[in-house]
Amino acid sequence: MRVLFVDDEDDIRELIEFAIMTEDDIEPTFAATGLDAIATMETQSFDVIMLDVMMPPPMAWRCCAVRGPMRIWTTRRS
């Protein structure tokens, strides 16, 4: 499964990388900004995209708009 992880905090990206390093079925790609994520999505396809919704502009929702129709799950509470 190809997964794009997008987070502007280095510590979070490193934690995710460490947590999934033993998972054989995950092919991770990391992006540090929304612009990096958009550029990556233009050249690669992913089964799952995990976004930090509190990133500085362009925020995660803008990345979703560029990506096109998809299911969105969030743990953000109203």
**pTM score:** 0.79
Q: List pLDDT tens digits, range 28-60.
A: 999 998 889 889 988 998 888 888 878 877 666
Note whether residue 62 is domain-resident: yes
Residues 6+ apart with CB under 8 A from 17: 28, 30
pLDDT of residue 74: 56
CATH number of the domain within which 42 lies: 3.40.50.2300
Average pLDDT over residues 6-16: 94
Assign 62 to helix, strand or coil: helix
With 0-12 / 13-18 / 19 or more C-beta atoms within 10 angstroms meaning exposed / middle / buried, residue 28 is middle
Q: How many domains does the chain have?
A: 1
Question: What is the enclosing helix (H) or strand (E) of 31?
Answer: strand 27-31
Is the pLDDT at 64 greater than 90? The verdict is: no
